[in-house]
Amino acid sequence: MANRHGRSSSKDGEAGPEASSQRIDKWLVFARVVKTRSIAQQLVEAKKVRLNKEKIDNPARNVRVGDVLTISYSSRVHVFQVLGFAGRRGSPGDAQALYEDLNAPVVEVDQGSSDRAEADEIVAAPFQDILDVMVRKRKDPVQRDKDRRKARKERAQRKSW
């Protein structure tokens, strides 16, 4: 509803179930991905959130129905598709209605087939590119330093020839 100045009377960024978009930091709190809005803002500013495969760093960025969020949080990678919005942080049941969890898609495997590796490949295939980018294996710092020294030594030998 508009006030006498022609502006909406609701607070900026506040969205109800019928809204077309909502701030990402509010959505993360209302969907119970994180506990507080300040944690959500820090997560976004640290570039731990991707919106449709694009890293974002602005907590005021809007999400829309159908957007895919990839979030690196609590030592896991979470992939959600936005299904709706809320006006407040509600019960866990209400929060689950706001998104579809794309981490663990349901795959039906024939009862006669005991090929578990094939079923795992089917599940992982659509998300492998996202997971490869978000989850990188870090080298042991000592081994990394040894590799760097070895590479420097090899470069120095090549220059001396």
CATH code of residue 141: 3.10.290.10
Give me the pLDDT at residue 12, please: 45
16 assigned to some structural domain: no
Q: How far is CA 133 from the centre of its chain?
A: 12
107 assigned to some structural domain: yes
Higher per-residue confidence, 95 vs 136: 95
pLDDT tens-digit map of 29-80 = 999 999 999 999 999 999 999 999 899 999 999 999 999 999 988 778 889 9
Higher per-residue confidence, 114 vs 152: 152
The model's pTM:
0.57
How many structural domains comprise the chain? 1
* Residue 63 structural domain: 21-160
Give me the pLDDT at residue 1, please: 47
9 assigned to some structural domain: no
pLDDT tens-digit map of 11-25 = 544 555 567 899 999
pLDDT tens-digit map of 79-104 = 999 999 999 998 988 999 999 888 86
Quick one: CA dihedral 101, 76, 17, 58, positive or negative? negative
75 assigned to some structural domain: yes
4 assigned to some structural domain: no
Residue 127 confidence class, pLDDT cut points 50, 70, 90: low
10 assigned to some structural domain: no
31 assigned to some structural domain: yes
User: Mean pLDDT, to the nearest integer, of 105-130?
Assistant: 55
| Beta-carbon contacts of residue 37 (< 8 Å; ≥ 6 apart) | 25, 26, 29
- Taking residue 74's Cβ as centre, other Cβ atoms within 10 Å add up to 8
